[in-house]
Amino acid sequence: MQAVPLVLAGFGNVGRAFVRLTSEKKTMCRERYGLDLHLKAVLKTAGGFFGRTLPEWDEIVELPAAETTRHPAWQSGLGLADVFSRLEPGVLVEATPTDIQTGEPGLGHMIAALEKRWHVAAASKGALVLHFTELTALARKNGVGLKYGGATAAALPTLDVGLFALAGTEISRIEGILNGVTNHILTRMEGGVSFSDALRETQEKGIAEPDPSLDVDGWDTACKILLIANSVAGTSFRLSDVRRESIRSVTQDDMRKAGEKGRALKLLGRFAKENGASWAEAKLVSIDKTHPLFGVSGTNKGITFFTDTMGPITVMGGRSDPRGTAAAILKDIINIYRP
């Protein structure tokens, strides 16, 4: 039995879903994978919880966000350094909000963890998108795992398929519907709803954020195709290298015209290697019925890898919510420790 200390940074929807999932799956992880997962600490910006046991985690995770700091076990000012200094290395679960300007606070967390030889399983994208080469090199140098399935389309297995199932192939092209919010809005617009109404409805359902720009302006798709390409095709894209389109400009007229031709307008994350050069983009593309992603609607996602020796391979589905992301983090932890 391998003891696996876990430290969670970030206690939003994904962080909470991860605590619940770990509690539910604890016995299965012992029995099936020989992993004894122990959540040791949960950290927010101003402090956190440390050294709790399962019944208490189950209680803490149910607290409304505003009340966590008033819980008797809350330790104001508690930081990652305090926690790392008192634990054997395990896995840092990085689930703080994505900031694509600075990469913080995830960047500081991940560097601190990797330097202390903790593995990292990340759901936040900022640090990876801004400092992909440096972070992966640091993990390699220190012989620890750096996984980010939760940041690259959650429960849709993009990296596992690209790295593991397609090992030995040349991936010449990738096309993906990688963002559930924009795909849901575009699907609603196919039904005749305007962009602003579809956006409002998507926000009311809790699918889109109050500030939807990361999603609708293509940033999230750009981040994901960057991480996928850099991981599986060995590129070194930075975010500024990825061409990007917003879906704000799509009109009902655009949708109607595509529909009349039997086509669908999709925001695709695309990567290609052509004549020795590579490019990546988040782009509005009109696809027809023969495209493998034509039927991917609503919050669903999908990705197609075009390879030399295995042909094209498409993966579709996977929950597009905090629980799906939590499941992807747990999967990454299991695979980090796989013998």
Q: Which residues bind a copy of itself (CB under 8 A)?
A: 21, 25, 28-29, 33, 155-157, 160-161, 164-170, 292, 295, 304, 307, 309-319, 323-324, 326-328, 330-331, 334-335, 338
Could you tell me if 202 and 208 are in contact, meaning their C-beta atoms sit under 8 angstroms apart? yes
CA dihedral 258, 262, 267, 271 (to 10 degrees): -120
Question: In angstroms, rounded to a whole number, what is the distance separating the alpha carbons of residues 90 and 144?
Answer: 10
Question: Among residues 44 and 266, whose Cβ is nearest to a copy of itself?
Answer: 266
CB of 263 to a copy of itself, least distance (A): 16
Find all residues with CB under 8 Å of 225, minimum gap 6, and list them: 174, 176, 178, 242, 269, 270, 271, 280, 281, 282
Residue at token pair 């999603």: 215
Question: Among residues 54 and 73, whose Cβ is nearest to a copy of itself?
Answer: 54
Question: Among residues 107 and 139, whose Cβ is nearest to a copy of itself?
Answer: 139
Question: Among residues 129 and 153, whose Cβ is nearest to a copy of itself?
Answer: 153
Could you tell me if 116 and 143 are in contact, meaning their C-beta atoms sit under 8 angstroms apart? no
Question: In angstroms, rounded to a whole number, what is the distance separating the alpha carbons of residues 302 and 269?
Answer: 10
CB of 259 to a copy of itself, least distance (A): 17
Q: What is the DSSP string of 243-290?
A: EE--STT--HHHHHHHHHTT-EEEEEEEEEEETTEEEEEEEEEEE-TT
CB of 28 to a copy of itself, least distance (A): 7
CB of 140 to a copy of itself, least distance (A): 10
CB of 334 to a copy of itself, least distance (A): 4
Question: Among residues 92 and 155, whose Cβ is nearest to a copy of itself?
Answer: 155
CB of 235 to a copy of itself, least distance (A): 14
Residue 211 Ramachandran class (φ > 0 left, ψ -120 to 50 alpha, else beta): beta
Name residue 3's amino acid: A
CB of 102 to a copy of itself, least distance (A): 31
Question: In angstroms, rounded to a whole number, what is the distance separating the alpha carbons of residues 157 and 161?
Answer: 6
Question: Among residues 29 and 282, whose Cβ is nearest to a copy of itself?
Answer: 29
Give, in order, the Cα–Cα distances in Å from 132 to each of 218, 325, 329.
19, 20, 18
CB of 1 to a copy of itself, least distance (A): 17
Where are the alpha helices (H) located in 145-240, listed in sequence order?
158-160, 180-190, 195-204, 213-216, 219-232
Question: Among residues 21 and 239, whose Cβ is nearest to a copy of itself?
Answer: 21
Question: Among residues 61 and 250, whose Cβ is nearest to a copy of itself?
Answer: 61
